[in-house]
Copies of this chain bind each other. A is one copy, B any other.
């Protein structure tokens, strides 16, 4: 099959497939006489693997590492476990950051009601630094 069909079957765009090839995530396929790429079912599996990994938000370089690990099947798989563990930590800290952000945004949202003018806006007022509203200091 040509790249268009592979794109449809895999759910990756044509440009993404060519990009993965350029980045070394999939191997360069055979070409027709007219220089068109020709793929087989194996290519589709490789793309599916990459898609699964991307759905877990693994980076392309992590995926590359996994692929290269697959090329030495008898080595221990510890590195895979570690990668997932690291990933879990990153995701957890991102969630925490976003939850803090969410709290900040909600507090900020409460600073302004409806139908004020820009210079009276509680939100903009909160975002602006306050040089002389220092009633808390003597």
Contact = CB atoms under 8 A, between A and B. Distances in A.
Interface of A: 41, 45, 48-49, 52-53, 55-57, 66, 69-70, 72-78, 80-81, 84-85, 87-88, 91-92, 94-95, 98-99, 101-102, 104-106, 108-109, 112, 114-121, 123-124, 127-129, 131
B56 A101 contact: yes
Contact of A121 (B80, B120, B121): B80
A116 B73 CA distance: 10
30 contacts: A45-B128, A45-B129, A45-B131, A49-B127, A49-B129, A52-B128, A56-B101, A56-B105, A57-B101, A66-B124, A69-B118, A70-B124, A72-B118, A73-B119, A74-B119, A76-B115, A77-B116, A77-B120, A77-B121, A78-B114, A80-B112, A80-B118, A81-B112, A84-B109, A85-B109, A88-B102, A88-B105, A91-B102, A94-B98, A95-B95
